[in-house]
Chains A and B, each alone.
Chain A
Amino acid sequence: MQGRLSARCVAGRRHSQIDFISMQIRSTRRFPGPKLKPLASLVDEKVGRVRTCKLGLRRLEEEAAWIERYRQLWDARFDELDKVVEELKRKEKVDGRKKRE
């Protein structure tokens, strides 16, 4: 998805990204200053009555964002795994004590 397309056309390309893209367009137009760092860089250009925007996906940033989400997923799993490990350790201690008695 690179090059110049109308905003409507870009949105049509990938249904699930419609909201995301229009939000990005809105946020970059409405608010001055870098309040939100967009994942995709959008550059507006108005030719006649059609406003087009250049969607240059910042691949590395996207990859970093995906990796962070993936990290959060495993982090959440491993926090639960920590609890299981603690429980097994306690159980082992109790069982060890019983055996010694």
Chain B
Amino acid sequence: MDARRESEPTPMKNRTTVQRKSERELVVTRTFNGPARIVFEAWTKPELLKRWWVPKSFGVSLLSCEADVRVGGRYRFEFGHEASKPMAFFGRYIEVTPHSRLVWTNDESDDGAVTTVTFEEKGGKTLLVMHELYPSKEALDGAIAGMEGGMPETFAQLDELLVTLGASVGRS
């Protein structure tokens, strides 16, 4: 029929939720106002990934963003204030199902989670569910408590980012 009849709802901010589902699991959800193929594309093309993975408000820059999104392919995101001391997230993709499912490892530490992202399209919108499964209760507890020795590097880095984020919000 008429393509212009496509409803274009007033842009409303969708909610992001985070929940600890069990001793070893964290689940992040968000709905996007677009089809799954587009949201999936934004997660799998490095040139698109780098536009949202480190928002400007974090106050740090993404130094490099490599993602070979194939089963067995590797990814590495480096960011920081100076190129000499980059912080990095890295691992490999263990499952890639176009437009519906991505699974990757987080190899920054032995306590890193396995992350599964699913894209579920309904009525032109996509529900994204990111599921992080830690190797043990202690690994997730360690990430949360930030205990010395038990804290995966990746979360220390997130904390650092958030401190930067808080500081930049405070300045503006």
Q: Are B55 and A88 in contact (CB under 8 A)?
A: no
Q: Please report which residues of chain B, range 25-74, place their CB below 8 angstroms from some CB of chain A when the two chains form the complex.
A: 26, 28, 30, 32-34, 38-39, 41-42, 48, 51-55, 57-58
Closest to A69 in B: B162
Interface size grouping (class) on chain A = 20 to 34
Q: Is there a chain A Cβ closer than 8 Å to B82's Cβ?
A: no
Interface size grouping (class) on chain B = 35 or more
Closest to B56 in A: A80
Q: Are B53 and A77 in contact (CB under 8 A)?
A: yes
Q: Report the Cα distance A88→B35, complex, angstroms.
A: 10
Q: Are B34 and A79 in contact (CB under 8 A)?
A: no
Q: Is there a chain A Cβ closer than 8 Å to B144's Cβ?
A: yes
Q: What mask results when residues 65 to 91 of chain A are scored 1 for a CB within 8 Å of chain B, else 0?
A: 011111111111111111111101100
Instruction: Write out the residue numbers on chain A whose beta carbons fall within 8 Å of the beta carbon of B32.
Output: 78, 81-82, 85
Known contacts being A73-B161, A76-B55, A76-B165, is A88 close to B38, with CB within 8 Å? Answer: yes
Interface residues of A (CB under 8 A from B): 14, 59, 62-63, 66-86, 88-89, 92
Q: List 21 A-B contacts (CB under 8 A).
A: A62-B145, A63-B20, A63-B144, A69-B159, A70-B28, A73-B161, A75-B16, A77-B52, A77-B54, A78-B14, A78-B30, A79-B55, A81-B42, A81-B52, A82-B14, A85-B32, A85-B33, A85-B42, A88-B41, A88-B42, A89-B38
